[in-house]
Structure 1
Amino acid sequence: MTQRWIDVSPKHWFYRNVLEVDRLYLDHKKENTVIQGKLYNKFITGKSRTVHNFTTTEGQTSFKIKNYKPDSRELVIIYIDGVPYPPSKLESGIVHVGFPMAGGKEVSVYLSGVVDMKKGDHTPANCQTYPLTDTCELAYPSKKLEMAGRYVFSPYYSLNEIVVCMGKKLKRVNVMVANGESIQAALTRTIGHKRDCFTIIQGTLYVSYNLNGFPLLVNYNYKSGAVIKNRQKEKVVATSKCAMYNDRFFPEITVPRAEFFVILQRLRVNLYNKFTDRGYQPKVVAKTERYLADRNKIVGKWYDEDVLNILDEKFNDGCYVFPLYEDDSFQPEVCVTRAEAVVYLHRFMEWALERFR
């Protein structure tokens, strides 16, 4: 299974900070983190995300992958019985591991691919750099089970449904498909971009996007005559031709001011939920009060409620926490400068200390 952020490792100077912030949640179930992944599923030609599965022979030290070419922009991870290892050497068509392996080991070689990016030139009008998404029809990774025609589900037997990916037991999600609703729509509504989840619908296994291409062991119930039996450890690989991924932090991309304020707002929500009895109570967009000269550039965008709510926040003396430009504009699509980021973070810290100490 791929890690939470495949592009954040201990060698990076920001590693500890990202992990600390990533442990902050907005909900008691600890499913909605302050930092969200950037969605992506478009790759440069010849460098798509792929998973190659093998069973080792005694003493094996390398894996042949057709048409593979090393690329410094691509991450390669070798999972041996679920334990990740870096490759010892990469060459055309071959990925090497640094030690001989015993026979019969289940190995997955994960190639992250090279994401196609929209690259800005750092001018105010074109400052954003972000990953691109394809226009293909999204589909969760799936696989029809061997006993699909005789598959049986009952709440009484739900504990018998187990899926394991490289030693980790996945979370089972009960997906109810409404009348007239497609299975994909029901999965999107229920699973969304949660990781390491599964469900079985009409004998077909569906899993989270991040598990696309990885080997799975599945236990489920099926009818044999008048008897309910449990199928044990059926080995499958659930795949999708159009998945959506969110396992990259993208530390080098530039973001607009609105997106930076969404992160601050999520931190604000975390503090209200942690240190107040009522928790965070958002205002609807129409109820936000602050005058903004370019409010029309914010309303109707994906970030409008977050941005307009945090811009309403004040210190105890009644002054707004975050300054606007001299013409009272916010300019949501202009990228933040380093100086602005420092000012915003400092004022956020001052407000948090004053509000919650």
Structure 2
Amino acid sequence: MGGTVRWLDVNTTQWFYRNVLEAERIFLDSKKEEKLYSGKLYNKFVTGKTRSVHNFTTTEGQTRFNISGYKPDSREIVIVYIDGVPTKPSKLETDFVYIGHPIAGGKEVSVYLSGVLDMHQGDETSENCHIYPKTIGCQVLYPNKKLDMADKYEFDLRYGLNEMAVCMGQKLRRVNVDVQVGESIHSALMRTIGYKHNCFTIINGVLYVSFHLNQFPILVNYNYKSGAVIKNRQREKVVPSSTCAIYNDRFFPNITIPRFEFFSLLQRMRKNFYNRYTDRGYQPKVIDKTERYIKDREKFVGKWYEEDVVNILDEKFNDGCYVFPLYEDNTFQPDVCVTRAEAIVYLHRFTEWALEQFR
């Protein structure tokens, strides 16, 4: 089966593998576009160990691939894609990546080097104890490549079925991007594609793809005008690239999270339950009309998670008691990391509330 790996740091040998994949199938909307959770964004790497993809066409019996300057690092993920099928390398050494068997000539191979992420290392003795990947403040740009027939490119709904892009043996989903007056192409792409995987579009003869496909080879079919005739360009091979991509293809299973993030995830589950098991669906309260007193609410006023937190903290059992306790001084403390004990208590109370509310 072709296609890039969905979660680079989740594999079949890990105890949480099945749960992660099953939870990923939970959607919050009827169109099945907004998932219960998503990967964390990252694009900052330690010096000398950035993310990269190296593409080859094999010679008969080839077993190793030369990547000048490469040095093995236990923190880095290396995947060898052979005609789109992901394979673990058999050996890594300076300047070379090996596979365990000879390959026939003419195979398309991509060696993916994940790079080594620059991580914020939290201090467990402070409030800001969580660990998270860093991002750099560059102008984010979708991976793109001008097509050979860009000047004659033609798109018409009558020919839409002839426009196709395939990466690593997987057909990509075409997204129609309508660039509005005064809107930049990047803003239009962010509005329509965002951080979705395996998407592509062509605008003015330029191919744009999802961030995680940066530097991977793409085979493109598209239409162009030759005189008065519309022709279809078949399997043009291009390698889209970006000077500032941002990625969300890691689950980060071992990092700690702050209370605001944990409660935001619980709130997404709560929304899903209301949308699935009630006729009205989820109806959020206006944040300035929530009733619960939270002593340190000023800490998260205006933050992206404010509505999620104040809404779920307002939830009650049928006896009128709040589902989730605050600290003894009535503070929420959004930046404090969730302990294992707290996580178990919160999940247990959430389960009790859900069974009471929806059974």
Give the corresponding residue for 1:343: 345
Give the corresponding residue for 1:177: 179
- Contact 2:4 2:86 (8 Å CA) reproduced: no
- Contact 1:55 1:106 (8 Å CA) reproduced: yes
Equivalent residue of 2:298, what SS? helix
Q: CA deviation at 1:271?
A: 1.2
Equivalent residue of 2:54, what SS? strand
Equivalent residue of 1:355, what SS? helix
Q: CA deviation at 1:269?
A: 1.2
How many Å separate the matches in 1 of 2:83 and 2:314?
A: 51
Match 1:63 to one of 58, 62, 65 = 65
What are the within-5 Å matches in structure 2 for residues 127-206 of structure 1?
Answer: 127-206=129-208
- Contact 1:60 1:100 (8 Å CA) reproduced: yes
Paired AA for residue 113 in structure 1: G
Percent identity, please: 70
* Residues 243-301 of structure 1 deviation map (CA, whole Å, 9 limit, x = unaligned): 00001111111111000001111111111111112221222212222111111112201
205-214 or 5-14: bigger deviation: 5-14
Match 2:231 to one of 229, 232, 254 = 229
Match 1:309 to one of 305, 308, 311 = 311
Give the corresponding residue for 1:207: 209
Give the corresponding residue for 2:102: 100
Equivalent residue of 1:97, what SS? strand
**Alignment RMSD:** 1.0
- Contact 1:124 1:335 (8 Å CA) reproduced: no
- Contact 2:128 2:335 (8 Å CA) reproduced: no
- Contact 1:273 1:279 (8 Å CA) reproduced: yes
How many Å separate the matches in 1 of 2:4 and 2:302?
A: 35
Paired AA for residue 31 in structure 1: E
Equivalent residue of 1:134, what SS? coil
Tell me whether 1:86 sits opposite 2:88 in the alignment.
yes
How many Å separate the matches in 1 of 2:123 and 2:172?
A: 42
Q: CA deviation at 1:2?
A: 2.9
Tell me whether 1:281 sits opposite 2:283 in the alignment.
yes
Give the corresponding residue for 1:272: 274
- Contact 1:176 1:186 (8 Å CA) reproduced: yes
Give the corresponding residue for 1:23: 25
What are the within-5 Å matches in structure 2 for residues 243-258 of structure 1?
Answer: 243-258=245-260
**Aligned pair count?**
357
Q: CA deviation at 1:156?
A: 1.3
* Residues 294-315 of structure 1 deviation map (CA, whole Å, 9 limit, x = unaligned): 1111220110011111111111
- Contact 1:61 1:97 (8 Å CA) reproduced: yes
- Contact 2:162 2:221 (8 Å CA) reproduced: yes
* Residues 225-256 of structure 1 deviation map (CA, whole Å, 9 limit, x = unaligned): 01010100000000001000001111111111
How many Å separate the matches in 2 of 1:31 and 1:74?
A: 30
Alignment gaps of 5+ in structure 1: none
Equivalent residue of 1:233, what SS? strand
Q: CA deviation at 1:28?
A: 2.0
Give the corresponding residue for 2:222: 220
Alignment gaps of 5+ in structure 2: none
How many Å separate the matches in 1 of 2:21 and 2:114?
A: 21
Give the corresponding residue for 2:38: 36
- Contact 1:77 1:86 (8 Å CA) reproduced: yes
Tell me whether 1:74 sits opposite 2:76 in the alignment.
yes
4+ residue segments displaced more than 2 Å = none
Give the corresponding residue for 2:11: 9
Equivalent residue of 1:186, what SS? helix
How many Å separate the matches in 1 of 2:150 and 2:106?
A: 28
Paired AA for residue 357 in structure 2: R
Equivalent residue of 1:239, what SS? coil
How many Å separate the matches in 2 of 1:44 and 1:56?
A: 31
Q: CA deviation at 1:62?
A: 0.9
* Residues 191-236 of structure 1 deviation map (CA, whole Å, 9 limit, x = unaligned): 1101100000000000000100100000001000010101000000
How many Å separate the matches in 2 of 1:158 and 1:165?
A: 19
Q: CA deviation at 1:43?
A: 0.4
